[in-house]
Each structure stands twice: as structure tokens, then as C-alpha cells.
Amino acid sequence: MSETADTTVKGSPLASQAQKSLADENVETGEPKMRARGVDVYYGNKKAIDSVDIDVYTEYVTAFIGPSGCGKSTFLRSLNRMNDTIPSARVTGTIELDGEDIYASGMDVVQLRARVGMVFQKPNPFPKSIYDNIAYGPKIHGLAEGKQDLDEVVEKSLRRAGLWEEVKDRLTDSGTALSGGQQQRLCIARAIAVDPEVILMDEPCSALDPIATAKIEELIDELRGRYGIVIVTHSMQQAARVSQRTAFFHLGNLVEYGHTSDIFTNPAEKRTQDYITGRYG
Amino acid sequence: MSVTTLILLVLGLGLAGWLVARSRAAMFRRASADHRIAALPVYHGWYAALWIVVPTLLFALVWMPISEQLIIQHVLASPAAENLPAFGMQRETVLSEARMVATGAAPGVFNQDAAALVGPFEEAISRYSVIGFVVTLLVAGSGAAFAFLRLKPDFRARTRVERMVLSTLLIASLVAILTTLGILASLVFETIRFFGMVSPVDFLLGTNWSPDPMSSATNPDGSRYGAIPLFWGTLFIGAIIAMIVAIPLGMMSAIYLNQYAAPRVRTWIKPALEVLAGVPTVVYGYFAALTVAPAIRDIALSLGISNPSSESALAAGLVMGVMIIPFVSSMADDSIAAVPQAMKDGSLAMGATQNETIKRVLVPAALPGIVAGIMLAISRAIGETMIVVMAASFAANLSANPLEAMTTVTVQIVALLTGEGSFDHPATLAAFALGFVLFLVTLVLNIIALRVVKRFREAYE
């Protein structure tokens, strides 16, 4: 049980309490899937993230909340090195996936992103058919041999994303012709198709209507346990609904990290309480 | 009274009207209770100035040719004109000589007939310039009167001025369209004349092109006007050889600049490519004719090809392809840059490499824009004249061998129109038919390209 202490912020008054309730839940498996320690992210000379420690478990959905510009998306993108695409961005500290430092020089970023997938704020299906959207990842990673194999992967991914029934008769239609909610589920199916271990979701519902949002939230719940899921959200209700762990970011700092129920009912920090009661942000 | 002085005078009147109207409107404003009138004083100023300047300039535009005619009439009516030669060039020469002396453009007369006419000319010019001056002032005055009568506190001068500005803008945009229509009409007219002499079937389907300007104009030999070799040469040089050069190089440079080049490299290479687009085509022509063509001939000789042409289609096509690179490259660059970053991120987040992302996502997504760019490039290449005039041949060959001499539509148009052929002869009129076909083809290519680009834009907005 020694690992459980790491699930909370070091030195936080919440630590002992979180440890106790983790034990109560009794689903702890030990090693976290991803482990971030002392992570700083800079854009040029500006420090966007200051010394963040977080653990991500496959068993839980982890939500990042916080006001706009607090760095939660920046930190999320550093978990699969998407920040590499921004020339001025620089990450220090360690982020481990199954104990392996993802910023180590030997780490192949292509392999990393196949293991840590990502879903974006705005649905971004490729301007290809629904089938080709899903088949894209398996093809580039050589995960499927032959057409039949690929068909299976496509069907399985669409089923897991809860989209199969809606699109099975029009797999050759363009992915961009789907509705916004369907597009976002297509993007989730696309991420699932390469069989990742962790899926990062950057405000996946912010461009969707409430019904589409409910479907995505349902989907997230179904995917929990199979994939480690980290979701950035602006909606505190959403964080409360879908996540078991919540991290509150403010001005580039991780203010508080712990059980979602604790964060929302009994936050240890004044700033957290002010934010969740709507006093700022 | 010279034209310049007149214009300056009118503009001066306009300025005066502007100042007076504005200050009157300002007075109204001060007088009104809440300092509000229907339009700002400056709009009243513009309203008056426009009413003074525009009608006056329109009058001057009409008056200039009319007064010209009136002067000639006056001179011909004078007794001195009776000695004039009856018709033709001589009469014109005498008249213009007398006129030049009268206006002081020439020191003295050469032809004695002209000397007698100098007096009547001077008289007529001074009379009509006085009349013109007075009428101009009248027009300006009535314009000013009209404007000032309407200058009241509740007069909406701003909307009127805006309406005038709007119509000016409309006219400006119509000029280009009307010019295009005029060009088309003249082309169509001459083309119809040509097809009255030579059957369109012979022209469009015949394979022998050897128009003879010396042959009888009334009964032309239609079998000499087969334009297929020209169309083929144009396509072969402009749309095939040039594009084989331009498409891969343009695409590759666009991808490099857009996706791989460091900002510092990009700031150097992009302007350099744009300079390439600005080089006058005649300079490319020198390059093709003096450097590339002989080099190709030497290479062909060293490869054992006997008797290669020094005016090969290959030379013209290669140089034209290089000229077209910036077009293809900048259109491709823009299209790739227009693909949303989200699309690229989506692919990279799947674990695709940059290379895979470019090949499988960016280029396919940008393809409509790239295709449109290529079509615009083709339409430019087949309409290009200078390079082929200098580097391609005048001989119409129907051949698929790039080392052979070939000619293009534009080359033949130049050849047909630079001779001394009469404009009644089918050999000259054929140039218009060729131009018409070229116009239609490039028009269709441009329309398709623009539609494709439009649809592509809609997809991402």
C-alpha cells in the first residue's frame, strides 16, 4: 500500500485522508500506469506548469479541472509529448509510463503516442471515409494483416466507442459528414483502434450539445478499467460525473489532487473550494 | 485655354465649393439647438464638390471630341479651304500641318496650301475654346447652384455622397468585366469571319498546318488550316513537359517549406521562389533558347541521336516548367497551410510520423487546392508566349518525340499577326480563331479551378 501515498499531493493536508479512503475502496492495484514527478513545462522563458506530481491509474478516470489558462491542457499534452510539436515548449522533470521515462532519449515518440492516445477539444476526423478514419492508426502501425483483420479492428473499435450501430451501413461515407457528437466518438474509436493503454481527452465535450455530451460521458465510463483515461474539462459537473480522481490546477500549479468525491465535497484548499463553488474561473 | 488649366480650374472650383458648403453646414450646426444636423459638415462639403466637379468633367469628356469636329467644320467652311486637295492622305496632311502651326506645335508651314488655313484654324480654335470655357463654367455653376439649394440642416448629405462613391466603385468593377466582354466579342466576331472562309471541321480536326498568306483570299484551301498539330504542341509543351517538371518540384518545395523548413530557411527560400515568379518571361526565353536548347541538343547528340532539333519541345517545356514552379508551390503551400492544425495533431497523436501525416492526411486534405493550383498553372503555361516564341519552333509537327521541333498556338498567333498579311485574309484571321480556342480553354480551366478552391474553402470554415 506504500504506493497509495503518491496519489495525493505531497505535503497536502488531504494526503492522509485520501490514503484512508483509497484503502477503503480497496481496488488499488499498486503501480500507477503513468507517474509524473516534478514536471515543469516552459513556453520559451515562461513557465506554464510548475512542479506537478500526478499518478494516472487504469482503474480510474482522472479529471483535470481549473480556470482557463491554468495549464491543465498543457500538462495533458506533455503526457504523450504532443508539446513536442510546439517548437518553444520544453518539459523538465520525469513522466513515466509503466516505469519508463517518456522523455528519455531512447523513447520513440511514435511508439509512445500509440500507447498514449489523445482525443481533442474539437472533433477532428480526417477528411476520409469512416472506415479509413479508424483504419488509419492500425495501418500506420502495422497492427492488422489483411483486409479481414482490418475489418475486425474497425468493427471492434466502433463497437467499443458505441458508434457501430449508427454507422455500420455507411462506413464509406466521409467522417466529416457525421454529427459533432458522432465525430467525437469516431475520434475516440480512432484512438481505441491502435489499442492504447492511456487515452488523453482534452475537453472532449466542449463543442457538443448536452445529449452528445451524455453519450460521451457514458462511453468514458464504459472504457474505464480497460484504458487509463485522463480528461480535461471545464465542467465541474462533468468531472464529478465521470471521474474518480480529480486534479485542480490554478496558475500552472497543481493545487489539489485526490478522490473526486473529496475534492467536491470536502476540498482541503481554500482555492479549490472557491473554484468549485463558482467564486472565480 | 489648355486642358490642364481647365482641369485645374474645375478642381479649384470644387475645392471652393467644398470649403463654402462645409462652413455653411457648420454654421447650421452651431445654430441648431442640440448641435445636431442630418449629416456632418464635411459631407455637405463633399456633396457640393462632387456636384461641381463630376458634371463638369463629364461635359469636358464629351466636349473634347465635339469641339474637334466643330473646328474642322469651321475651317472647311472658310474660303481658303476651297483649294484643298479633294480626298485622301494629302488633304489630311495639309489640315494637320495647318493645325500644328496654328497651335504653335510647328514653327512654319512646309506646304503652301496649309499656310492659307492657319488663319481659319487659329480663329476656330480660339472661338471654340472660349465657348468651351464658358459652358464649362456654366455647368460648374449650375452644379454648384443645385448643390447649394439643397444645403439645409435636415439634408442627408452623407447618404448621397455614399451613394455617389458606391456608383464610382461599381463603375470601376464593371470596367474589367466590360473589357473582358469586349475582348470576347472582338474575338468571336473575327473568328466567325474566319469560319466563313475555312470550315470549323477542317480547322479543329485537320492535321496539316501551313497557312499561306500569299494564296488567294477568296478561295482558301481549308486543308492547310488543320490546327491539331498546334493544339498538340501546346498541350505537349505546356501541359505535359512543363507539368512533369513543375508538379513534383513545386509540391516537394511546398511540403519542405511548409512542414520541415526552419523559420530561418523559410524566410530565405520563399522570397527567392517569389522572385522566380517575377522574372519576365522574355528572360526565361533567352535562357531556354541560348542555354537549355543547345545543351539538350548536345546531350541528344552524345547519346547517339542523329540530327536532333535545336528548337526542341523539351527545351521550351523544361524552362516553362521551371517558370511555373512558384505557382504550383505557392498554391500547394497555401492549401497545406489551410488544413487545420487539429487534423495534423490528430494524426500525430495517433503515433503517425510527420512523414506519414503529410502523405496520408495533409496532402489528401489539401488535394483540391493543390489540383486547383495545378489547373491555374496549366492555363498559364498554355497561354505563355515569350518562352515558346524564343525557344520553340515555328514548324507544326505532330509528334510525341520531345526532341523534335514543335510549335504552339501562341507561337502561331504571333507568326500570323506579325507579317504584313491583310486582315481580310484567312491566314491572318486564323490567329483570332486560335486565340478564341485558347481563351475558351484557359477560361474553362480557371472556372473549374476557382470552383474547386471555393468548395475546398467551405469545407474548412
Give pLDDT tens digits for A17-48. 343 344 344 455 578 899 999 999 999 999 99
Please state, in angstroms and rounded to a whole number, the distance separating the CA atoms of residues A182 and A219.
Answer: 12
pLDDT(B453) > 90: no
Contact with chain B for residue A268, Cβ under 8 A: no
Q: What percentage of chain B carries pLDDT values higher than 70?
A: 95
DSSP state, A205? T
More confident residue, B396 or B19: B19
Contact with chain B for residue A136, Cβ under 8 A: yes
pLDDT(B150) > 80: yes
Read off the pLDDT band of A183 (50, 70, 90).
Answer: very high
Element (H, E) at A258: strand A253-259
Contact with chain B for residue A129, Cβ under 8 A: no
Give pLDDT tens digits for B62-76. 988 888 888 888 888
The residue of chain B nearest to residue A177, with distances taken between CA atoms, is B459
Give pLDDT tens digits for B173-222. 999 999 989 999 999 999 999 898 888 888 988 888 888 877 777 777 77
- The answer to whether the CB atoms of A141 and B351 lie below 8 A apart is yes
Give pLDDT tens digits for B22-38. 898 888 888 877 777 77
The residue of B336, B348, B350 whose CB has the most chain A CBs within 10 angstroms, and thus the best one to mutate to test that interface, is: B350
Cβ-Cβ contacts under 8 Å between A and B: the total is 67
Of residues A124, A140, A176, nearest to B346 (C-beta): A124
Sort B132 into a burial class: Cβ within 10 Å, 0-12 / 13-18 / 19+: buried
pLDDT for B4 equals 80
Average pLDDT over residues A193-201: 94
Average pLDDT, chain A: 86
Of residues A127, A140, A141, nearest to B365 (C-beta): A127
pLDDT for A26 equals 42
Residues of chain B with CATH 1.10.3720.10: 222-459
Q: Which residues of A touch B349 (CB under 8 A)?
A: 80, 82, 113, 117-118, 120, 191
- The answer to whether the CB atoms of B350 and A187 lie below 8 A apart is no
Of residues B342, B348, B364, nearest to A113 (C-beta): B348
pLDDT(A3) > 60: no
The residue of chain A nearest to residue B355, with distances taken between CA atoms, is A140
Please state, in angstroms and rounded to a whole number, the distance separating the CA atoms of residues B428 and B175.
Answer: 29
pLDDT(A212) > 70: yes
Which strands make up the sheet holding A245-250, listed edge to edge? Answer: A100-101, A89-97, A34-43, A46-56, A253-259, A245-250, A61-65, A228-232, A198-202, A116-119
The residue of chain B nearest to residue A193, with distances taken between CA atoms, is B350
pLDDT for B346 equals 92
ipTM of the complex: 0.82
Q: Which residues of B touch A141 (CB under 8 A)?
A: 351
CATH superfamily of B222-459: MetI-like (1.10.3720.10)
Q: Give the residue from A159, A177, A181, A178 showing the smallest Cα distance to A168.
A: A159
Contact with chain A for residue B349, Cβ under 8 A: yes
- The answer to whether the CB atoms of A124 and B350 lie below 8 A apart is no
d(CA A203, nearest CA chain B) in Å:
14
pLDDT for B85 equals 66
Give pLDDT tens digits for A41-69. 999 999 999 999 999 999 899 999 999 88
Q: Which residues of A touch B345 (CB under 8 A)?
A: 82, 85, 118, 120, 124
Average pLDDT over residues A111-128: 92
Please state, in angstroms and rounded to a whole number, the distance separating the CA atoms of residues B245 and A39.
Answer: 50
Of residues A80, A125, A176, nearest to B349 (C-beta): A80
Cell of B220: 482558301
pLDDT(A14) > 70: no
pLDDT for B393 equals 81
Decide: B59 and B53 in contact? Cβ < 8 Å.
no
Which residues, at least 6 apart from B430, have a Cβ–Cβ distance to it below 8 Å? B194, B198, B203, B211, B225, B227, B412, B416
Domains and CATH numbers, chain A: 13-122+196-276 (3.40.50.300)
Got the DSSP string for A88-138? TEEEEEEEEETTEETTSTT--HHHHHHHEEEE-SS----SSBHHHHHHHHH
Contact with chain B for residue A176, Cβ under 8 A: yes
Contact with chain A for residue B424, Cβ under 8 A: no
pTM over 0.80: no
Average pLDDT, chain B: 86
